[in-house]
Amino acid sequence: MIGRVLFVGAGPGAADLLTFRGARAIAAADIVVFAGSLVNPEVVAEHARPEAEIVDSSLLTLERVSAIYRRARDEHLVVARVHSGDPTIYGAIHEQIACLDELGLGWEIVPGVSSLAAAAAAARSELTVPELAQSVVLTRLPGRTPMPESESVRAFAAHGTTMALFLSCARAGVMQDELLDGGYPPATPCVVAYRASWPDELVLRCPLKDLAATVRAARIHKTALVLVGPALAAKETMRSNLYDPAFGHEFRRPHSWKVAHGEA
């Protein structure tokens, strides 16, 4: 057997939001390294083999994780590196992949359900509503990890579409100011989704002008995602062309208005 590393997306929290492929990857692992501060421990407990070595990465540096990868190469072991949400979104896997390539150890990514999807589901909202928003911006405030100069929240806010802000609730006042200064009107609807899909999930709604106060009053500073944009308050809008009787595609021929309404 050749050693390898599987970066597994554990989903946003609920154990049953792990994919079938993710479950198989964890079950195949000799060593399971998971972010104990973010990943639901049931995900590992339900799928890891009894003899698998379980390692909580919340106390580990990259160097210590790299030592596990080196051991996997030398002993031909399979490692499931389990990340919250989807590992390709703020998963810090790029530096791990560089290490694996240097070691000559094979790897692959198993996609996971992002906290973005969980937050939208908890808010009971579609993020791309015809005539209101057809794009979603995923971003964050700068912190220990700096942002490219062209990717400020203020710059993205100028588009006025749906925005999802990760890892930003600890600086709620700055977040609100950046969104307002970028062009969102004060009444723009916002959703704060705390621990979406967990048993203690909390979903708060407010206009943008009250965003910072809402976050502070709920004492939320981490494990929360903020959604902003006009689509969050959509009730009536132009219907999508996809299901319009007059719209045809390779699987369905278009019908006239009279045929569609039984008048022909």
96 and 143 housed in the same domain: no
pLDDT, residue 54, reads 98
103 and 122 housed in the same domain: no
Kindly state whether residue 130 falls inside one of the protein's structural domains.
Answer: yes
CATH number, position 133: 3.30.950.10
Beta strand pairing call for 189-194 and 224-228: antiparallel
51 and 11 housed in the same domain: yes
- Strand ranges, E, within 198-249: 202-207, 224-228
Look up tokens 């910072």; give the residue.
212
108 and 165 housed in the same domain: no
CA-closest candidate to residue 220, choices 193, 246, 248, 239: 193
Kindly state whether residue 40 falls inside one of the protein's structural domains.
Answer: yes
* Count of structural domains, the chain: 2
107 and 157 housed in the same domain: no
CATH number, position 30: 3.40.1010.10
Tell me the DSSP string of 112-164. Answer: ---HHHHHHHHTT--S-BTTTB--EEEEE--SSS---GGG-HHHHHTT-SEEE
Coil, helix or strand for 35? Answer: coil
Q: Which amino acid is at 60?
A: L
Kindly state whether residue 248 falls inside one of the protein's structural domains.
Answer: no
Domain boundary (113, 140, 161) is at 113
Look up tokens 């569609």; give the residue.
260
123 and 228 housed in the same domain: yes
99 and 121 housed in the same domain: no
Structural domain boundaries, residue 208: 116-233
133 and 98 housed in the same domain: no
pLDDT tens by residue, 214-225: 999 999 999 999
Kindly state whether residue 88 falls inside one of the protein's structural domains.
Answer: yes
Q: Which amino acid is at 157?
A: A
Kindly state whether residue 261 falls inside one of the protein's structural domains.
Answer: no
pLDDT, residue 149, reads 84
Q: How many residues does the chain have?
A: 264
pLDDT tens by residue, 177-202: 999 999 999 999 999 999 999 999 99
pLDDT above 90 covers what percent of the chain? 83
Which run of H or of E encompasses 27? helix 20-27
145 and 93 housed in the same domain: no
pLDDT, residue 38, reads 94
106 and 192 housed in the same domain: no
Collect the ranges in the chain with pLDDT lower than 70.
Answer: 1, 236-264
The pTM for the full model equals: 0.85
130 and 95 housed in the same domain: no
